[in-house]
Amino acid sequence: MVILQRLRRHMSAQTYQAHKTALISLAMQLVIPGVLIIVPMDMCMYVVLTDSTGLQAIFSPSSSYPNSLLIAPTMRFALFLLVSSLVLVGKSTAHQCDKETECGDDETCCKLGDQMWGCCPMPQAVCCDDRTHCCPSGTTCDPQGARCIGEDSNHTPMRKKKPARKTVERNEFNEVLCPDKSSKCPDGSTCCLLEQGTYGCCPVPNAVCCPDMLHCCPNGFQCHGQFCSQNFAKIPHLRKFASTNIHRKPAIDFLPEEDQDEDGEEVSTENSSEEDVVQNSEDVEPISCGIGKTCPAKTTCCKIRNSEGERKAMCCPLSNAVCCEDTCCPGGYHCVAGGKCEKHAKTMRTRFWNAEKEEEDEEI
């Protein structure tokens, strides 16, 4: 039996359903007996109880639970996946309060007492005149009673605003640009300073960067030693991974049209390095572009439009290339203005499986 209580009365149905689906789906995979897991989700808090048969129940917190629960060491990785996935499920584009600050899509921008912007932890909230608290949509602030009064005379406690976060700078590919302007992190992560003065990436959005400069916590948590805490919830801290240096190189020109056939001759390009350009081989079949054009083997067929708007095929002398408007880039790069190629921001998974390429990734 699964019991799932909706704790956030004013959470949109779509957001609530997304959290609920993700929670149940992931929790079903946690089958370590007798484990209590505190799972924070914005203003929601759930406890997952498992036994030898798998998921047994999902409860909202009550006074019967202790004030502090530590996660069994064997659950560290599973819990990391669970919390990270839940954070990412609710991830959406933030909205700006002004040019320098922003709040999440499930929050409301409200002025604070110092004329700075703050975030009320609910959507379409009512900003109270005391500039400290806020109330759900459709209610009225009662600062003297520290409550929000609804049309049906029911009341709920006022919520306190938190300072708005600094607007995250992103590039056109939605990658997060770090303050040093020379490194970046993938979408859904946060730039955090490392001990050596460079930036690393925390694998969750809008994260709290811990003072030890090694770890980080999900948004709304505090760094406490080896754990991240929020009220009575306690989860293992997250470890940062290396950011990607913003590395640009000249884009590769297409092969001259007279060379775009299956003659198997070697390809020579002026702007490419030896490792990028793949030589043709006589024992490999040429590539058909499907629109009356054939490219040599081990190249990439790029279907583009010419200045007259007509579709045409050009051959990029790289295998598995990224096609730009009038040039091409190696795989793993974006096409950027000025005829350049910029390396993708590496994700934590990419770095884990390609550890042997770390040295290459860090070159500028």
Instruction: Examine the fold and report which residue of 245, 273, 292 is the final residue of a domain before the chain moves on.
Output: 245
Assess whether 229 and 253 both reside in one domain: no
The structure tokens listed for 282 are 């006589």
| Helix residue ranges, H only, 28-110 | 76-89
Judge if 189 and 215 occupy the same domain. Answer: yes
Do the domain assignments include residue 184? Answer: yes
In this structure, are 259 and 337 located in the same domain? Answer: yes
Cβ partners under 8 Å of residue 78, min gap 6: 29, 30, 32
226 pLDDT more than 80 = yes
> Quick check: is 357 in a domain?
no
pLDDT at residue 357 tops 90: no
In the chain, the number of structural domains is 4
Same domain for 234 and 159, yes or no, is: no
The answer to the question of residue 356 being in a domain is no
- What digits encode the pLDDT tens for the residues 278-324? 444 454 788 888 767 889 999 999 988 877 778 888 999 999 999 99
The whole-model pTM stands at 0.58
**71-75, 203-207, 217-221: the lowest-pLDDT one:** 71-75
322 and 264 in a common domain: yes
Please report whether residue 121 resides in a domain: yes
- End-of-domain residue from the set 31, 63, 89: 89
Residues 6+ apart with CB under 8 A from 206: 94, 104, 165, 168, 190, 219
Residue 131, exposed/middle/buried by CB under 10 A (0-12, 13-18, 19+)? middle
Query: What CATH code is carried by the domain that includes residue 221?
Result: 2.10.25
pLDDT at 260 over 70: no
Whether the pLDDT of residue 15 is over 60: the answer is no
Q: Determine, yes or no, domain membership for 2.
A: no
- Mean pLDDT, the chain, as a whole number? 72
Q: What angle do CA 250, 253, 256 make, to 5 degrees?
A: 165
Burial of 223 (0-12, 13-18, 19+ CB in 10 A): middle
Q: Domain check: are 261 and 336 in the same one? A: yes
pLDDT of residue 176: 94
CA separation for the pair 358, 54 (Å, rounded): 38
Is the same domain home to 267 and 333? Answer: yes
Q: Is residue 216 domain-shared with residue 292, that is, in the same domain?
A: no
**Do 213 and 225 have their domain in common?**
yes
In a domain, 113, yes or no: yes
Pair 3, 58: CB distance under 8 Å: yes
Q: Which amino acid appears at position 79 of this protein?
A: L
Q: What is the pLDDT of residues 31-41, one digit of tens each?
A: 333 344 444 43
CA distances from 243 to 185, 190, 206 (A): 5, 10, 16
Same domain, 338 and 280: yes
**330 and 254, same structural domain?**
yes
Q: Does 364 map to a domain?
A: no
Containing 17, the helix (H) or strand (E) segment is: helix 13-27
Winning range, highest mean pLDDT, from 56-70, 247-261, 294-308, 344-358: 294-308
- The range of the structural domain enclosing residue 154 comes to 100-163
Does the residue 7 lie in any domain? no
Tell whether the model's pLDDT for residue 268 goes beyond 60.
no
Q: Identify whether residues 50 and 128 lie together within a single domain.
A: no
- Distance CA(335)–CA(340), nearest Å, equals 6
Exposure string of 295-321, with b = 16+ CB inside 10 Å and e = fewer, is bbbbbbbbebeeeeeeeebbbbbbeeb
Of 67, 89, 111, the residue that ends a domain is: 89
Q: What is the maximal distance between C-alpha atoms in the chain?
A: 85
